[in-house]
Structure 1
Amino acid sequence: MLLVITCTEDVTTNMLMPFLDGVNVFRFNINKWNEYIWDFSDKGFKVLSPDGNLLTSNNIKCVYLRKPLFLEDIDIPKEGCLDNWLRSEVECLWKDVYYDMAKRGKTILVHPRNGWRKHTQMTIAKKYFNVPEWHIIRGKIPEETLSGDWIIKSLTQEKIGKGKIFIAKKVDVTKLDPQYPWFLQRRIKADYDVTSLYVRGKIFSFQLDRSKLTYDDCRIETPLLKWEKCELSKDEEYAIEAFMRETGFEFGRFDFLRKGETLYFLELNPNGQWAWLDLEYKNGIFECIANEIKRVYKR
């Protein structure tokens, strides 16, 4: 049985399911954890889903990590609260299940060892790509950031309050409070946003014309604009392959900027969303992901 660890709002998994013919799927929605019945013991485990599906330590074959998110915000006082404790307990348990399957080589595409975050990614990427100048600072504003245009970004997608997250935007560096941690990147006045989905040696690339954008962060306007398929050069695809070999990733979605003929690396999201690149099922992405799941499932 394939265990998919995710949440109820994961539309990508909903869209993927019809492609998983011949695969027995158990879906664990972490935000609905209290609708499942489970027993983990020295004799193994049994988990019963709300729809009567049974996952056991004997019938589990592999795990695909999607988006295990708690969708409702909670206020966590300094002294803690019961809701946060419950979430932490559930997360800890299901992470253990995931890590245990990883040790046995039974995770699909997204693996726990792939822990490289933006700082390390950008350092490694410099070997293979053009990378805009960047600084992650706190306590003092560096002199070199006081000239030219800079973008402020976030290292994580953690919410900063009232359900809001940081978006990438142009900033006046002199107005930043140095007592806070900041992630700054030199602003590239690019012609295109480029995103490339990598699936174990296969690369699917798309671009978005930035002349149609109002904001620096294309996520604000992406639902209103169309990403078009594009081709990378052989050297650019080789750079992606080399980066993935060094970091150990088998899957991920790259974010780039293109200015003229130059491609700039921004980041790799090791478990990035991808369904929005193939909403009409014409680009082969769903088939590619499904085939990879089946390959591991049938081993």
Structure 2
Amino acid sequence: MKKSCLIISSIYDFSIDLVIQELEKSKVDYIRLNKENIHKHQISIDPEKKTISITGNGINRKIKKIKSIWFRQPIFLRNTPEKSLSLEDQLSKSQWTAFLRGLMIFDDAFWMNWPANTYSSESKPYQLMIASKIGFKIPKTQISNSFNEAKSFQEKIIVKSLDTVLLRDGDDCLFTYTSSVKKSDLTYETIGSAPLIVQNYITNKTDIRVTIIKKHIFSVKITSNGYGIDDDWRLLKKDELEYTNIELPKKIKSKCYKLMVALGLNFGAIDLIESNGDYYFIEINPTGEWGWLSNEDRKIELCIAEALS
């Protein structure tokens, strides 16, 4: 019986494109469903027999055995739409979201990652609590819309959103970044409408991205002109950034693996900060991007392809 890989993705997910190249080289059978076009298929699942049938839009398959599932798109609609959605569109999006969660009937497949674990791991308060519990240092943190403990923070602080923010303003799409501000700038009038994450600013920092796929770990430091970047490195142009492979200390590696186990993840993109020899946990993204870290040896794609196949 042919075993297939099911990939739930997006038409704009270029990291998936890299993995699919490796799957095709290895002649692994796969089906890719993009969230933007999922309504163009006719899809049926049988929760008792654990089968899935997909027809339409170039696919005609009935699968009795799914070997692995990569749930790359757990959040169906994060941004505010350009215009009010019709009742039909609202119903469609809500029910397709529930349908995708229903793929958990394939509980004997290898998941990258199990949906329930992805949802819980996306909670920044929860991941910070778990990281602290297993021994990671984390910056002093408060999550609030009132900032009651301002006096206990240093003057320069970091503020960021609780979740990815994609907002639409007319024809413009707005995205928020991590920002450094003075704590005196935070008042109920400026932040009272929505909670945010406030953390002490860490000086002399170097950003580190750690990508873990099962037992494989890839660590890269992110610099500009050989130096750490004061604010959010994503604000710099691509040609101003340098990605350098590094070897993490054994204790930090061990904590990264323990974090993955505690969160029940097979894949994770961890952001750390190194400052004066200390390593701080910042966050983990269970569906994080990594295509921008890819290099000629294609190790990350190969590891993901191997796990899926």
Which TM-score applies when normalising by structure 1?
A: 0.86
TM-superposed deviation, 1:63? 1.4
Q: State the distance in 1 between where 2:127 and 2:77 align.
A: 27
Aligned to 2:61: 55
Q: Is the 2:222–2:228 Cα contact (8 Å) retained in structure 1?
A: no
SS in 2 for 1:108: strand
| Superposition deviation, residue 203 in structure 1 | 0.9
The one-letter code matched in structure 2 to 1:27 is R
CA, structure 1 residues 48+143, in 2 after alignment: closer, same or farther (shift >3 Å)?
same
Q: Is the 8 A contact 1:122 1:131 kept in 2?
A: yes
Task: Provide the secondary structure at the position in 2 that maps to 1:88.
Answer: helix
Distance in 2 (alpha carbons) for counterparts of 1:61 and 1:106: 5
List per-residue Cα deviations over 1:195-237 (Å, max 9, x = no partner): 1111112210000125657761112226231211011111111
Identity %: 21
Residue 42 of structure 2 is aligned to residue 26 of structure 1: no
1:159 pairs with 2:166: yes
* 1:145–1:160 distance in 2 versus 1, CA, 3 Å: farther
User: Which consecutive segments of 4 or more residues in structure 1 shift more than 6 A?
Assistant: none
Q: Is the 8 A contact 2:220 2:244 kept in 1?
A: yes
What does 1:97-116 align with in structure 2 at a 5 Å threshold? 97=103, 99-101=104-106, 104-114=107-117, 115-116=120-121
Distance in 1 between residues matched to 2:237 and 2:221, nearest whole Å: 11
- Is contact 2:79–2:168 with CA below 8 Å preserved after alignment? no
Show structure 1 runs of 5+ residues with no match. Answer: 295-299
Q: How far is 1:182 from its partner?
A: 2.0
2:277 is aligned with 1:274: no
Change (3 A) 1:258 1:228: same
CA distance in 1, matches of 2:69, 2:221: 31
1:5 to partner: Cα distance: 0.4
User: Secondary structure at 2:199's aligned position in 1?
Assistant: strand
- CA distance, structure 2, for counterparts of residue 111 and residue 41 of structure 1: 19
- Provide the C-alpha distance between the structure 2 equivalents of 1:7 and 1:229, rounded to a whole number of angstroms: 28
Equivalent of 1:183 in 197, 211, 214: 197
Take 1:94 and 1:31, find their aligned partners in 2: how far apart are those partners? 13
Task: Identify the residue that residue 262 of structure 1 maps to in structure 2.
Answer: 278
Change over 3 Å in CA distance of 1:144–1:123 after alignment to 2: farther
What amino acid is the match of 2:216? Answer: K
CA contact (8 A) 1:31 1:70 kept: no
1:86 aligns to 2:89 (yes or no): no
| Count of matched residue pairs | 288
More strand by share: 2
**How many Å separate the matches in 2 of 1:72 and 1:266?**
24
- Equivalent-residue separation in structure 2 for 1:138 and 1:71 (angstroms): 21
Match of 1:293 in 2: 308
In structure 2, list runs of 5 or more residues that go unmatched.
none
Deviation at 1:107, TM superposition (A): 3.7
Name the SS for the 2:222 alignment partner: strand
Q: Which residue of 1 aligns with 2:136?
A: 129
Paired amino acid for 2:257: E
User: Structure 1 residue 292: deviation in Å?
Assistant: 0.8
Q: 2:136, 2:255 within 8 Å by CA — same for their partners in 1?
A: yes
Pair 1:147 & 2:154 matched: yes
| Deviation by residue 1:131-153 (Cα, 9 ceiling, x = unmatched) | 11110012353233553211111
Secondary structure of the residue aligned to 2:175 is coil
